[in-house]
Structure 1
Amino acid sequence: MTVSAERVRTQIDGLATAGLDWPTFGAAAIETLRTALPFSAACLATVDPATELVTATVKWGDVDDDHDLEWAYYEYEVDDVYDFRRVCRKPGGVAALGAETQGDPARSRRWAEMFRPIWDYSDELRAGLSADGATWGGIALFHQGGRTFTLAEQEFVSSVAAGFARGLRAGLVAGAVGLTDVGDDAPAVLVMGADDEVVQANPGAEARIADLGGGPLGDARLPQVVCALIGAARRRASDPTAAVPRARLRSRSGRWVVAHASPLVGRGDRRSDVVVTLEDARPPEVIPLVVASYGLTDREREVVGLVLAGVDTADVARRLHLSAYTVQDHLKKIFNKVGVRSRRELIARVYSDHYAPRLVEGGALAPSGWFAGCATRT
């Protein structure tokens, strides 16, 4: 390692508190990690903490976006040596392919059918990125040229995982104001065929796909979250314990989106078609994630929930069996973490991610729970 592990941990922790959006944080953190641990390529992914489904990625090196559907197939549909969900539950939340296969990576279909023939990777190291009991992402590092990841390198990546998680978590709520319009507020619906081609789509689908980083519908490049949903839906059809095909994420325009999928009934052993739906998230779906992104304790989240419901300090104390002084102490800590000075600012900060600006502009609620017919900010 060319730079001390402690120095890199300190730098990543500093980036995590710098107020960066998550892609900017991710790119900087990967570069920082590489100063202590050289690798050939890397992929940093965000996940929805509720389902641990991958929602978006930042990539470094020759790993590219052109094979996301293949990656989702091996991650969600194939029963391989490990996947990200299993890694997150391992001691230390880390695994290396060479070590997991006792030096025989060919035991992994992902390696034999994708990593080796496409990129000639010789080893993969994965780590789950968790903080305060929730998983916010995962990272995969790759070696080429026959190199493998040592136990010391695995332990080092495990030691910086919490800093990565805090940076991804904070990055979800960075840059909350400044929304742009993406057209129709109606849900987008796509039907993906057994060959992973778009069979049908409604009129608003292309704009939604573009806002999530995908290409035109005739293009094979779908957003990462759609690829993951397709694989997760097919796996869930045969394995009820598999990842739930549902995720919340921020789009490029700043909107919160709920994405979910379900398989259609297929014939025999034929891979099923999958219906994917992308729609604006309603406040009850988003607010818990926004609140969690500020790194509040369980008790602080309880206090915030009551404050958002309009409960005064005395009633908060009574409901939580606390003294008014203790509630005020919790509020001070909450204000400091969120970066506000009062209850009013706290409520505005949580809602302003989407809802307050449009409410101020007088938008009426559409049937979807989103604001209809109001101007957006640029």
Structure 2
Amino acid sequence: MTERHRPVLAAAERATDALDLFSRVSAGLRRLVPFHSAVWTAADPETGLITAPMLVENLGTGEGCAAYWHSELLDENVLPFRDLARAAVPAAGLRAATGDLPARSARFRRLLQGQGVYDELRAVLRIGDRPWGLVSLFRTTDAFHPQETALLADLSRPLAERLRTLTRPPAAARRTDSPAPGLILFDESGEAVSANDEARHHLARLPKGPSFPTQLGLKLPIWVLGTALQARAIADGRDHGSARVRIQTTDGRWLTCHASCLTGPGGRPGPAALVLEPATPADLAVLVAEAYGLTPRELQITQLTARGMTTTEIATTLFISPHTVRDHFKTIFTKAGVSSRGALVARLFTDHYWPALPEPTQLGRPGQPPAQARIG
């Protein structure tokens, strides 16, 4: 990193949460890369879909925001985030990518041009192939220069690392109730047409952010709407990913939001069904492991530990030596801030589970390990 990056990174270090990070970094970056408006959002590192929080600066946060993400997922666009997440360079300008013909992108033709946008600079904040955040900067005059694109690309990993740290799930407060899954149905046009009481219960606990009104009297957060749009994109063959995202609630717990499109008579496209439900340990395992910076191998070892395996059994399963397993444990303990295997399993699989796990006597048949010890 150069001296030019230092003020932005220093601002990122002072952030207290993800939304504060976006606000501080945006203000610092604007001095280096001038822009008129911006969108900063967290992303689910497994699916790349948008999740809370989101910061929208100098842009509409209602129907315009919904239209932006509708175009992102369902239109033929230049530089969709899903492609940029896999690109060699995680940042690119729209005019530069289209040879100064931005109208080649449906997003520009249908939305940005009418809002007076001249150019858009996008970036994915990523660590390896895991996207932790998405950024769009907009200018009403002048194109973004290659040097500005390169500067934002250089910030991708350090900002993703800071965002990952701030996204680390805190230990959830224990509770005994188990809210049932919430269900929302969308018609073929994408309009929400039905929702149960459990869905309303979960929606009321989602953080504030851009939302879209519906005929049901509910406002759907853009993260929920985006998951439903992704399900439609998969059904239409535009994407082969997963319509699944994890969202932290206002009381620090976690929900999993997942959607799929149903099939109607004669194989015709039917409605889309979206489910909101408390996240399980399996839902959070990778998210928590990523947040602590565990490598895929370290996560494997942690999962096998959660199953109750010994060092020798883990070594045999992974075809490595017991000495290598012990070395991995030292690194894992340091990253997770624990000193024992039991504390490690609790930190990654139990502390973040909503609701509290039942007592071991309620799990399985006699002689079987507890349910949380079979995660993985």
For the pair 1:114 / 2:108, whether they are aligned, the reply is: no
For residues 122 and 267 of structure 1, the distance between their equivalents in structure 2, rounded to whole angstroms, comes to: 45
**Counterpart among 193, 197, 200 of residue 191 in structure 2:** 197
Residues 125-274 of structure 1 aligned to structure 2 (within 5 Å): 125-144=121-140, 146-178=141-173, 185-213=179-207, 218-219=216-217, 221-239=219-237, 241-265=239-263, 273-274=271-272
For residues 66 and 238 of structure 2, the distance between their equivalents in structure 1, rounded to whole angstroms, comes to: 22
- Which whole-Å deviations, capped at 9, do the CAs of 1:107-155 have from their partners, x for residues lacking one? 222122222324x2221111122213322222111112x1221101111
For residues 196 and 328 of structure 1, the distance between their equivalents in structure 2, rounded to whole angstroms, comes to: 51
Residues 1-378 of structure 1 aligned to structure 2 (within 5 Å): 4-8=3-7, 10-11=9-10, 14=13, 20-66=16-62, 67-118=64-115, 120-144=116-140, 146-178=141-173, 185-213=179-207, 218-219=216-217, 221-239=219-237, 241-265=239-263, 273-355=271-353, 358-359=356-357
Deviation (angstroms), 1:105: 2.0
SS at match of 1:141: strand
Deviation (angstroms), 1:204: 1.4
Q: Is the 8 A contact 1:12 1:164 kept in 2?
A: no
Q: CA RMSD in A?
A: 3.3
1:364–1:29 Cα change, 3 Å: farther
Deviation (angstroms), 1:47: 2.3
1:199–1:312 Cα change, 3 Å: same
1:59–1:351 Cα change, 3 Å: same
Q: Is the 8 A contact 1:65 1:221 kept in 2?
A: no
For residues 260 and 317 of structure 2, the distance between their equivalents in structure 1, rounded to whole angstroms, comes to: 40
Specify the alignment match of 1:375 in structure 2: none
1:307–1:132 Cα change, 3 Å: farther
Q: Is the 8 A contact 2:174 2:356 kept in 1?
A: no
Deviation (angstroms), 1:283: 1.6
Q: Is the 8 A contact 2:183 2:195 kept in 1?
A: yes
Task: Give the counterpart letter for 2:182 in structure 1.
Answer: A
SS at match of 2:76: coil
For residues 47 and 160 of structure 1, the distance between their equivalents in structure 2, rounded to whole angstroms, comes to: 16
1:35–1:221 Cα change, 3 Å: farther
SS at match of 1:164: helix
Deviation (angstroms), 1:12: 6.2
1:267–1:324 Cα change, 3 Å: closer
Identity %: 31
1:4–1:180 Cα change, 3 Å: farther
> After alignment, is 30-39 or 97-106 more displaced?
30-39
For residues 111 and 362 of structure 2, the distance between their equivalents in structure 1, rounded to whole angstroms, comes to: 49
Q: Could you tell me which runs of 5 or more consecutive residues in structure 1 were left unpaired when the two chains were aligned.
A: 371-378
Task: Give the counterpart letter for 2:80 in structure 1.
Answer: D
For residues 32 and 75 of structure 2, the distance between their equivalents in structure 1, rounded to whole angstroms, comes to: 33
Deviation (angstroms), 1:207: 1.9
- Which whole-Å deviations, capped at 9, do the CAs of 1:54-86 have from their partners, x for residues lacking one? 223422421242133212210111111231001
- Which whole-Å deviations, capped at 9, do the CAs of 1:334-357 have from their partners, x for residues lacking one? 122112222222222113443387
- Which whole-Å deviations, capped at 9, do the CAs of 1:207-258 have from their partners, x for residues lacking one? 2122223678645741122221222222222216444322233233322222
Deviation (angstroms), 1:277: 1.3
- Which whole-Å deviations, capped at 9, do the CAs of 1:283-340 have from their partners, x for residues lacking one? 2222122112211123322222222222233433443344444333322221221122
For residues 343 and 160 of structure 2, the distance between their equivalents in structure 1, rounded to whole angstroms, comes to: 26
1:178–1:123 Cα change, 3 Å: farther
Q: Is the 8 A contact 2:86 2:129 kept in 1?
A: no
For residues 95 and 116 of structure 1, the distance between their equivalents in structure 2, rounded to whole angstroms, comes to: 18
Deviation (angstroms), 1:88: 1.6
